[in-house]
Chain A
């Protein structure tokens, strides 16, 4: 494989790594590459599979670009190609790291929040009430499903909640 072809292939690989959902696009680009360079798709797929193992392992273990380069050389890749790949790795690793962190397990993740507030005018027990209520709708991801949770808060509860959330923010910021 010439260095030009290698860079083209590397580009395809990294585009897939940074957008792992674009599987179809990746496969199309791979078969285009195969046809253009007169390589058969089967062996190419196998090579790509082995190559992909390197960045995935590197990501898991937070390897530096030099370590990635050394790994590739150990696998038998030429120095030039390994350096090129390591460079690409350096450029893309922030995005890839962010993606990996994003994939980390989250319990009951809060997806969305909607609210409305109003005044209770009257009830079956009390003719005139005039108290303010706040209703929150929280959209929570439980496993793979979304669940809506409805909660009502009084005004003092709301202010207390807001105050606590601001304390959480300060706490999170001090750890970033």
Chain B
């Protein structure tokens, strides 16, 4: 028996099976509303069977409507995806010396990307890894060129 059904049992004075049925039905209802993206009270009200208790129906619909967009956002956030970028940091260093050349002044960029593995795979313990990448000025320029092209393509798509 799931934790919710267990908690419901004593409060509602129902048997274990009935509690389980109740939780299951509620779950199905809410998942259906979220899946279809229903946003109007009428659409939700008509899901209930004909002889359903009127006030209970209205109360449930009201509660569901209040939560539906939060649930949709959560579903989208935990969707399967490639690893996601969660944070990024950078710093610029000047290389002054190395084993191949004793004196120089070469600026270089260190970029740290914090990447979170697929949320759907990790459940409640997301695995976040940090990737540090070094970019020379030339690499950065090329990258900016690429990013600029992405931006242009995005604007073109948005303006269609």
Contacts and interface: CB of A to CB of B under 8 A. Distances in A.
Majority DSSP secondary structure for residues of B touching A:
mixed
Interface stretch (A35-43, A82-90, A98-106): A98-106
Nearest to A151: B85
Contacts of B106: 101, 104
Given A105-B98, A149-B131, A165-B144, A129 B76 contact: yes
Interface residues of B, number: 56
Given A115-B146, A123-B75, A151-B82, 20 more contacts: A59-B101, A60-B101, A101-B101, A108-B132, A109-B135, A109-B136, A110-B111, A110-B139, A110-B143, A113-B143, A125-B34, A126-B75, A132-B154, A151-B83, A151-B85, A152-B82, A157-B85, A165-B143, A171-B107, A172-B137
Contacts of A149: 115, 131
Counting chain A residues whose Cβ lies within 8 A of the other chain, the interface size class is: 35 or more
12 contacts: A115-B146, A120-B79, A123-B76, A150-B82, A152-B85, A158-B150, A158-B151, A162-B148, A164-B88, A171-B107, A172-B109, A176-B107
B35 A125 contact: yes
Contacts, number: 152
Given A60-B100, A62-B102, A101-B106, A172 B35 contact: no
